[in-house]
Amino acid sequence: MKNVSFQIISKAVITAAFALLVSSCATKKSSARYSPSFDPPAKAVTNPSAVKVKLSTSAQRVYVVQGSEVLLATPCSVGTASTPTPHGTFSIYSKQANRRRQSSPGAGYPMTFWMEFKTAYGMHWGWVKPYPCTHGCVRLPIKSAQKIFSMVQVGTPLIIASSHPEDATIGKTLPVLDDSTLADPPDSYMMGSQVFTDAAKGKIYTY
């Protein structure tokens, strides 16, 4: 009788442990974070002339590299198949912390920490999704945009390719960011001056 009871208890324990494991894995796979909460660690730039930015469009990752050392890594969003982010080697030739969209639709929308690398194409703050969703620009989480903006200078190289070696290392450790269900701030905020005041502090709205 004791053996039967022991077997029943053992099966129950194993079943509960398996259920917990499956639940844990499911939670991990489905977990997502909003980009305003993402704060990438960044190492200090010690040699600005050795800094370059690498963008992987397939992995949607941006890496700020000094020599062979990754100083900062962040998720991003790139252009769709019909409006792709251009590939090639560019240089950041214009920086503007407080910039607004010039064309319609969406004229006046903030594109803070603008870093232009090709006419009408730039890296800047924007809502991040785990799939290509832009018209060709590169959207960054607010804190990532703020830090990268301070780390690069006019003339910093930007290498855009479908993949980079860092995708298989540090790129894999980055979280999934998905702002698709994040409520939009009111237009009065986005079109006002407060959005730039907040951006300077590495934040957006009340998130």
Q: What was the pLDDT predicted at 21?
A: 39
Predicted pLDDT at 103 = 82
Topology of the domain covering 36-199: L,D-transpeptidase catalytic domain-like (2.40.440)
Q: What is the pTM of this model?
A: 0.84
Name the helix (H) or strand (E) containing 68.
none
Task: Show the low-confidence residues of the chain (pLDDT under 50).
Answer: 1-30
26, 32, 84, 126, 173 from 67: Cα distances, Å: 39, 32, 28, 28, 21
Tens of pLDDT, residues 79-130: 999 999 999 999 999 999 999 998 888 899 999 999 999 999 999 999 999 9
**Residue-level pLDDT at 105:** 80
Q: For residue 105, is the peptide bond before it cis, meaning its omega torsion is within 30 degrees of 0?
A: yes
Instruction: Please give the pLDDT value at position 9.
Output: 39
User: Residue 18: what pLDDT?
Assistant: 40
* CA-atom Rg of the chain in angstroms: 21
Token code pair at residue 103: 């064309």
What is d(CA 108, CA 95) in angstroms, rounded to the nearest whole number? 18
